[in-house]
Structure 1
Amino acid sequence: MKFEMRNKIGKIALILILLTSLGFTSCKKWLDLQPEDGLIEENYWKTKEQLKSAVMGCYASMLDGSAIPLTKYMFMWGELRGDMVTTGFGVDDNIDITTLNNLRRDQLFMIRTEIDATNSIANWEAFYRTINYCNDVIKNGPKVLETDKTISQAQVNQYLAEARGLRALMYFYLLRTFKEVPLKTEPTTSDKEIVSLPKSTSEEISEVI
Structure 2
Amino acid sequence: MNKIIYIVSIVVLLGTSSCEKWLDVRPDEEVLVDDALKDRKGFVTVLSGVYGSLASPQLYGRNLEYGLMDAMAGYWKIPTTNQYYELYKFDYKTVRSQDTLQAIWSGLYNGIRQCNLILDRVDEINGDPYYGLVKGEALGLRAFLHLEAFKLFGPVVKVKGLQTQSLPYYKAAVKVPQKFLSSSEFLQAVEADLQEARTYLESDPIISAGREADGNGANVQIYNSLLDRRGVRMNYYAVLALLARTSQWKGDMGEASVRAQDLIVKLGVSKAIRLMENNELENNYINKDIHFSKENIFGLYVNNISSLSRPYFERGMGTNKTSLEPDYTYFLDEIYEYNTGSSLDLRLILWTINTGYFGKYIIPSTVLNSKDDPKDHYYEVQLINLPEMYFMVAEDYLDKNLETSIEYINTVRTARKLPNLVYTGSLTKDDVKEYLIDEVRREYIGEGYLFTFLKRLYNPIYRSSGNIAPSESNFTFPIPDDEMIYNTTN
**What TM-score, normalized to structure 1?**
0.60
**CA 1:109–1:173: 2 relative to 1, 3 Å:** same
Partner in structure 2 of residue 202 of structure 1: 183
Distance in 1 between the 2:181 and 2:101 partners? 18
Corresponding position: 1:86 with 2:76? yes
Aligned to 1:39: 32
Rounded to whole Å, the distance in 2 between the matches of 1:116 and 1:203 is 28
Match of 2:43, SS state, is: helix
Q: Is the 8 A contact 2:168 2:178 kept in 1?
A: yes
Q: Report whether the alignment pairs 1:135 with 2:116.
A: yes
Partner of 2:150: 175
Which residue matches 1:122? 101
Q: Distance in 2 between matches of 1:168 and 1:40?
A: 22
TM superposition shift of 1:59: 0.8
For residues 206 and 178 of structure 1, what CA distance do their matches in structure 2 show? 14
Counterpart in the other structure of 1:5: none
Moved >6 Å (runs of 4+): none
Query: Counterpart amino acid of 1:86?
Result: W
C-alpha offsets along residues 77-117 of structure 1, whole Å, 9 cap, x if unaligned?
Answer: 6423322x22542xxxxx4xxxx4xxx34x11111111137
After superposition, where does 1:20-59 map in structure 2 within 5 Å? 38-39=31-32, 41=34, 43-59=35-51
Change in 2 beyond 3 A, CA 1:77/1:163: farther
User: Which runs of structure 2 are paired with 1:91-110 in the superposition (5 Å)?
Assistant: 95=80, 100=81, 104-105=82-83, 107-110=84-87
Distance in 2 separating the partners of 1:175 and 1:202: 8
Structure-1 residue corresponding to 2:172: 186
| Distance in 1 between residues matched to 2:36 and 2:89, nearest whole Å | 47
Contact 1:58 1:133 in 2 (8 A): yes
Partners of 2:88 and 2:54 in 1: CA distance: 24
Is 1:73 equivalent to 2:63 in the alignment? yes
Residue 148 of structure 2 aligns with an amino acid whose one-letter code is Y
Distance in 2 (CA, whole Å) between partners of 1:173 and 1:69 is 14
Secondary structure at the aligned position of 1:74 is classed as coil
Between the aligned partners of 2:59 and 2:173, the Cα distance in structure 1 is 19
Say which structure, 1 or 2, has more relative contact order (CA 8 Å, 6+ apart). 1
Q: Which residue does the alignment assign to 1:113?
A: 90
Q: Which amino acid in 1 is paired with 2:116?
A: N
Task: State the aligned residue count.
Answer: 147
SS in 1 for 2:111: helix
- The answer to which structure has the higher strand fraction is 2
Q: Which runs of 5+ in 2 are unaligned?
A: 6-29, 155-165, 191-490
Residue 76 of structure 2 aligns with an amino acid whose one-letter code is: T
The percentage of counterpart residues that share the same residue type is: 15
Is the CA contact 1:51–1:141 (under 8 Å) kept in the aligned structure 2? yes
Does the Cα contact within 8 Å between 2:122 and 2:135 map onto a contact in 1?
yes
Contact kept, 8 Å, 1:181 with 1:201, in 2: the verdict is: yes
How far does residue 129 in structure 1 lie from its aligned partner after superposition? Answer: 0.7
Deviations, residues 10-58 of structure 1 (Å, cap 9, x unaligned)? xxxxxxxxxxxxxxxxxxxxx99xx9x74151x3422111121121111
Give 1:82's aligned amino acid.
Answer: A
Query: 1:80 is matched by which residue type in structure 2?
Result: A
Q: TM-score, normalised by structure 2?
A: 0.28
Q: Which has the larger radius of gyration?
A: 1
CA distance in 1, matches of 2:100, 2:71: 11
| Secondary structure, aligned partner of 1:116 | coil
- Give the structure with the larger helix fraction: 1
Could you tell me how far apart the structure 2 residues matched to 1:77 and 1:185 are? 29
Distance between the aligned counterparts of 1:62 and 1:133, measured in 2?
11
